[in-house]
Structure 1
Amino acid sequence: MQTLDNPNLTNTPAFDTTIHRRKTRPVQVGDITIGGGNPVVVQSMINEDTLDIDGSVAAIRRLHEIGCEIVRVTVPSMAHAKALAEIKQKLADTYQTVPLVADVHHNGMKIALEVAKHVDKVRINPGLYVFEKPKSDRTEYTETEFTEIGDKIRSTLEPLVISLRDQGKAMRIGVNHGSLSERMLFTYGDTPEGMVESALEFIKICASLDFYNIVLSLKASRVPVMLAAYRLMVQRMNELGMEYPLHLGVTEAGDGEYGRIKSTAGIGTLLAQGIGDTIRVSLTESPEKEIPVCYSILQALGLRKTMVEYVACPSCGRTLFNLEEVLHKVREATKHLTGLDIAVMGCIVNGPGEMADADYGYVGKQPGYISLYRGREEIKKVPEDRGVEELINLIKSDDRWVEPE
């Protein structure tokens, strides 16, 4: 039996804590690659009117500067689509190129064909791309009606697929639970199965045209529906031998603490199962507020390392200093040291054990004194009022300190 690397432990199974990500094909979006084993990509969307060239450029730049790797914009009209040419050029002239995705809805073939010239990826919604006006008296779809609409979808989608294929660009087939087509609703109901079949219909058209630069999303505002849809999509792709990367998100998650928890519950659950290649947290707040949540989810799961990882106990009657205050001081002094793990523990009971994986530890071992650790090794004991200063000195002595900007 395989055992842990500790001579004091025998016959203890070694559990693999690594998240093994689902194998997916790489899809290039500008200079960013989604899937293919690459790091999970962070996305967001500006809320400026795309006709506002300067405002859109500024919004895209703000997002990109704080770590958003792909930025989405909406294109509700032909004028908006053409404006993207100016936005792209102005970004290149005043900042740098940024991978851009255009959102196309409602009978959007002409708009999509225009915008495909200017962006790196086009997102279409199968429920709206060929809009079916609902009939209030409908009781069923005949096989003929089903086929006719399928043929219309193909004829409408084909020019866009060919354009993206020939330019080496990408498409996101973005299904939303709240906007399934009437035909899918009648056939499968308002279900994850309907979402998956809607995506598969478009995927098969793309594949018949030798186009595979596809990213899929199956978003819902209810986390259980979202989870079921993505899991079923993976199951169906496995059955069909498909390896398309997945874009994860809980749509219309809301704002504040609950919006963040809701997004984390959906996105984090799937990522922990190895499902997902790019994410967007959808908050009813400024887009810049979404990026820290994305990185926190990825960091917590060990999928990206973008900040210092702080390990801190919740405090109890054994705590020998004001833990909340000290954690704040340590964080303020060291938060720029991306890649380090730092533990702040209130007492010796939990300290060395709970912080065993940390690079450095700050532990209350006796009243008025702080014990500083490098990994599992206690390095020195210092007066409490010099604790943060001496922690910095320890990091400097290991040549792992950088001055904050």
Structure 2
Amino acid sequence: MLTLNAPVHASHPDLPMTFSRRRTRPVVVGNVTIGGEHPVVVQSMINEDTLDVAGSVRAIQRLHRIGCEIVRVTVPSLAHAHALADIRQKLQQQYLDVPLVADVHHNGMKIALEVAKHVHKVRINPGLYVFEKPKDNRTEYTQAEFDEIAAKIQATLAPLVISLREQGKAMRIGVNHGSLSERMLFTYGDTPEGMVESALEFIRICESLDFRNIVISLKASRVSVMLAANRLMVKRMDELGMNYPLHLGVTEAGDGEYGRIKSTTGIGTLLAEGIGDTIRVSLTEAPEKEIPVCYSILQALGLRRTMVEYVACPSCGRTLFNLEEVLHKVRSATSHLTGLNIAVMGCIVNGPGEMADADYGYVGKTPGSISLYRGKAEIKRVPEQEGVAELIKLIKSDGRWVEPQV
């Protein structure tokens, strides 16, 4: 299983390595805590049918072993809720009690009440939990209609809230831009305001029942909407004295390079503003492909250290060796390590200055030879063909080497 480090701290007071995060209340999900001063938590979701107990157990284990800290499972029926009880039992017997989230939709009170017995957190969608049948010819919403639906939501949500409160479990109020209720669409339009008000309506019910073990998400497939909704949610929570943690994600981001860029743009932008306590990258690919993207976002922002940070110049006419080839060799030899900064620089002009924050440097100073650095100090000069092996020796001599797992 991947070993996770605490957030990165500045090595120099003038060079901060972390962003100031918005202070949120800690929410416990199994053996993981979201919010507070805890590191940003990584999540994903299996795509197996929950009725396939053995397949679901294997899928959850695969995700957890590569660093997914909370795993979501879809629960569209009572049969799926019962299957999830078996899934958790088998995980406890065969592996670990992995923090599990049940995803409940469409008039889901009975399902939610059952599955709440078996998981650590229940995710509900306010736009679907109490389904409002749209009227094509509607011209207004009367106060009586509002009150009637509000009473129905209260009656339907309260039993779940009480169950989670009594068990010490958590809820995610997960609003999706594409599934707002008719009331919210009619009142606010298809807007971030409607998303925020939808979440606040459910939060207020939870608070009226003295339940605050809540995580909020406001997701959209358009990055601009996702950013606006989360920023507005923070503003409204600050005004109302709320400090619930936020789950970030660009829903239905797609696949490949563009799906990763969309997710990184949305998630990374908010994290850089101090917003966000847990993330999921939603790709139309195997769930295992989501986890490296999450950790790359967090590492790039200095919020988690789970791999080597490589600093490498783009190469130019001064470069004294095949930089792309050498970087590949260095990465292949050291990528299993955790928490190191390694610089690979093509020449002496920018090398020592640009890699000042690196733990180790590999610099082309003269044709055919490599200068190895520890921090800012040059340690030795070796023949180019021995550069990678000598770098490994240097890391070993400092006691920072671990053998790669076979």
Asked if these proteins are the same fold (TM beyond 0.5), I'd say yes
* Residue aligned with 2:274, SS: coil
Q: Which amino acid aligns with 2:167?
A: Q
Aligned residue number for residue 113 of structure 1: 113
Distance in structure 2 (CA, Å) of the matches to 1:316 and 1:329: 19
Q: Is 1:345 aligned to residue 345 of structure 2?
A: yes
Aligned residue number for residue 49 of structure 1: 49
Distance in structure 2 (CA, Å) of the matches to 1:395 and 1:64: 29
Distance in structure 2 (CA, Å) of the matches to 1:25 and 1:307: 28
Distance in structure 1 (CA, Å) of the matches to 2:254 and 2:16: 35
Aligned residue number for residue 365 of structure 2: 365
Aligned residue number for residue 62 of structure 1: 62
* Residue aligned with 2:71, SS: strand
Which aligned pairs between 1:270-289 and structure 2 lie closer than 5 A?
270-289=270-289
Distance in structure 2 (CA, Å) of the matches to 1:364 and 1:289: 35
* Residue aligned with 1:382, SS: strand
Deviation at 1:349, TM superposition (A): 1.2
Deviation at 1:18, TM superposition (A): 3.0
Output the TM-score relative to the length of structure 2: 0.96
Aligned residue number for residue 355 of structure 1: 355
Which aligned pairs between 1:318-333 and structure 2 lie closer than 5 A?
318-333=318-333
Deviation at 1:171, TM superposition (A): 0.1
Deviation at 1:335, TM superposition (A): 1.0
Distance in structure 2 (CA, Å) of the matches to 1:386 and 1:76: 58
Distance in structure 1 (CA, Å) of the matches to 2:402 and 2:116: 43
Deviation at 1:382, TM superposition (A): 0.7
Deviation at 1:331, TM superposition (A): 0.7
Aligned residue number for residue 159 of structure 1: 159
Deviations 1:224-280 (A, max 9, x none): 000000000000000001010000000000000000000000000000111000000
Q: Which runs of 5+ in 2 are unaligned?
A: 1-10
Q: Which runs of 5+ in 1 are unaligned?
A: 7-12
Distance in structure 2 (CA, Å) of the matches to 1:317 and 1:179: 54
Aligned residue number for residue 10 of structure 1: none
* Residue aligned with 1:244, SS: coil
Distance in structure 1 (CA, Å) of the matches to 2:402 and 2:146: 63
Deviation at 1:317, TM superposition (A): 1.1
Aligned residue number for residue 7 of structure 2: none
Aligned residue number for residue 175 of structure 1: 175
Which aligned pairs between 1:138-157 and structure 2 lie closer than 5 A?
138-157=138-157
Which aligned pairs between 1:117-136 and structure 2 lie closer than 5 A?
117-136=117-136
Deviation at 1:318, TM superposition (A): 1.0
Do the aligned partners of 2:125 and 2:175 also contact (CA within 8 Å) in 1? yes
Q: Is 1:102 aligned to residue 102 of structure 2?
A: yes
Deviation at 1:17, TM superposition (A): 5.0
Distance in structure 2 (CA, Å) of the matches to 1:337 and 1:291: 17
Q: How many residues align?
A: 395
Output the TM-score relative to the length of structure 1: 0.96
Percent identity between the aligned chains?
83
Aligned residue number for residue 232 of structure 2: 232
Q: Which has the higher contact order (CA 8 A, sep 6+)?
A: 2
Distance in structure 1 (CA, Å) of the matches to 2:401 and 2:266: 36
Deviation at 1:53, TM superposition (A): 0.4
Deviations 1:293-315 (A, max 9, x none): 00000000000000011111111
Which aligned pairs between 1:254-265 and structure 2 lie closer than 5 A?
254-265=254-265
Aligned residue number for residue 269 of structure 1: 269
Distance in structure 2 (CA, Å) of the matches to 1:396 and 1:29: 38
Aligned residue number for residue 8 of structure 2: none
Distance in structure 2 (CA, Å) of the matches to 1:215 and 1:397: 45
Distance in structure 2 (CA, Å) of the matches to 1:255 and 1:400: 36
Distance in structure 2 (CA, Å) of the matches to 1:121 and 1:20: 27
Deviations 1:94-130 (A, max 9, x none): 1111000000000000000000000000000000000
Q: In angstroms, what is the RMSD of aligned CA positions? A: 1.2
Residues 209 and 81 of structure 1: is their aligned pair in 2 closer, same or farther, counting only changes over 3 Å? same
Deviations 1:192-251 (A, max 9, x none): 000000000000000000000000000000000000000000000000010100000000
* Residue aligned with 1:252, SS: coil
Aligned residue number for residue 216 of structure 1: 216
Deviation at 1:69, TM superposition (A): 0.3
Distance in structure 1 (CA, Å) of the matches to 2:300 and 2:132: 42
Distance in structure 2 (CA, Å) of the matches to 1:197 and 1:326: 53
Q: Tell me which stretches of 4 or more aligned residues in structure 1 moved more than 6 Å.
A: none
Aligned residue number for residue 186 of structure 1: 186
* Residue aligned with 2:137, SS: coil
Deviation at 1:369, TM superposition (A): 0.7
Distance in structure 2 (CA, Å) of the matches to 1:92 and 1:131: 35
Distance in structure 2 (CA, Å) of the matches to 1:119 and 1:371: 54
* Residue aligned with 1:404, SS: coil
* Residue aligned with 2:296, SS: helix
* Residue aligned with 2:215, SS: strand
Distance in structure 2 (CA, Å) of the matches to 1:127 and 1:255: 26
Aligned residue number for residue 20 of structure 1: 20
* Residue aligned with 1:310, SS: strand
Distance in structure 2 (CA, Å) of the matches to 1:400 and 1:50: 42
Distance in structure 2 (CA, Å) of the matches to 1:147 and 1:353: 65
